[in-house]
Structure 1
């Protein structure tokens, strides 16, 4: 097998697994197969990064060993835009200057574990178990109010302007992370590989199911709350608890 055929095999092998969530190429990276052809592992992008966000892929990253990655759970990209201009081969687009034009991926929020979504659902029921609110993803976003907005002043929502920098993932306080980055290209069937395509399809199905359950549950809880009156009727409690008609301390006063 000659060099070109061997190179083509490694760059198109569907089981190679180019993509993992929260593992991102630096800003300006060309499509993965082309990136693997062009990157000479010179580490210039790693050296120039002032935030120490870019790391070398280690031996566990298979054929990508030595190439630059941003591991968002450890450190996101702060879009300083210093790395694209120092790439000697064009693996990173030297002409990319504006942070808004970066395409590293897209953030996805898990509403089942996000503190704000859990709080919002609890509020609809009239009681909250944890009472925790968070705005780390919103506050830390380099493109705040553009890539991420707060609906109802409480719910973080990712917009189409998200560039996938991963800072929100880095700052997210939950374990596991409630906001994750889907790398650019992971949604493309011809690039992602069999296992990652399957993961993507399952994630979409789960997301649709969660949304449907959320909408149905919220509607029923709102109706239930509207029918509750605080006057003249003792509330029913699930646990063994007897509400008091009077409070002794108040009567003494």
Structure 2
């Protein structure tokens, strides 16, 4: 009876895995992986995906991954996924979707460029804008050249600035090959991990409003906002209208 009780407690601990929703950039599940919660329930740690990978891109999680130990990960800083699409075919439980065969439909994550360390962005500052960023301006273009879907997942704006599109597969090849030092300019954020840089104006505004509500500040909206605007008199000098949202200036 005691043994059965311990078994139930252990099973309950695994089923309520507190690390299911834990995300970390540059640490990805193999292509075709289910959502993290479902993946942890389906993966039996058989290592078939690890064995079949011809590029040694998939590694087994170690002790530091807690209850995720033994499950497969791709660490693009070390070795990216080259989208051979073999791992899904050997997964016996469906943790990796066997129906996924087109590399263009893979969504392991999204690449994000750090403009402060990207060599092309630094070159643009130095040469095009006349702003001395490093004093050693140089062109790169590695991420654009190594991307398996050039001009789809990564495009060049102004013929020089790399921009990641929503067609990015998150394979991480750009992160692996990025020559920027000491900190690489490319990072891969796993599928399901929010990226503040990509959330846009409305996402940032909702955060500001949420923070203001926590502080107890009154947010003008609806009829109150309309009444405030109606106080503006155009017949003489206009009074300053106090906006209650922050403004965001672009870097360029």
TM exceeds 0.5? yes
1:157-178 deviations in Å (ceiling 9; x for gaps): 0001001000000001112111
Decide whether aligned partners of structure 1 residues 96 and 203 sit closer, same or farther in structure 2, where only a CA change above 3 A counts: closer
Distance 1:8 1:33 in 2: 9
SS of structure 1 residue aligned to 2:111? strand
2:47 aligned to which of 43, 46, 50: 43
**How far has the Cα of 1:139 moved from its partner?**
0.8
Distance 1:160 1:201 in 2: 15
**Number of the residue aligned with 1:212:** 249
**Number of the residue aligned with 2:176:** 170
Aligned residues: 197
**How far has the Cα of 1:186 moved from its partner?**
1.4
1:155 aligned to which of 157, 161, 167: 161
Distance 2:68 2:59 in 1: 12
Distance 1:49 1:125 in 2: 45
Distance 1:178 1:27 in 2: 23
SS of structure 1 residue aligned to 2:251? helix
Return the TM-score normalized by structure 1: 0.72
Distance 1:68 1:170 in 2: 18
2:125 pairs with 1:88: no
2:64 aligned to which of 57, 60, 64: 60
Higher relative contact order (CA 8 A, sep 6+): 1
Decide whether aligned partners of structure 1 residues 202 and 32 sit closer, same or farther in structure 2, where only a CA change above 3 A counts: same
Decide whether aligned partners of structure 1 residues 202 and 165 sit closer, same or farther in structure 2, where only a CA change above 3 A counts: closer
Q: CA RMSD in A?
A: 2.4
**How far has the Cα of 1:7 moved from its partner?**
3.5
Decide whether aligned partners of structure 1 residues 100 and 125 sit closer, same or farther in structure 2, where only a CA change above 3 A counts: closer
**Number of the residue aligned with 2:121:** 117
**Number of the residue aligned with 2:231:** none
1:47-85 deviations in Å (ceiling 9; x for gaps): 111111001111112221111000010011111101101
User: Deviating runs (4+, > 2 A) in structure 1?
Assistant: 1-8, 15-18, 124-128, 200-205
**Number of the residue aligned with 2:73:** 69
Distance 1:203 1:20 in 2: 16
Distance 1:112 1:91 in 2: 37
Distance 1:96 1:78 in 2: 15
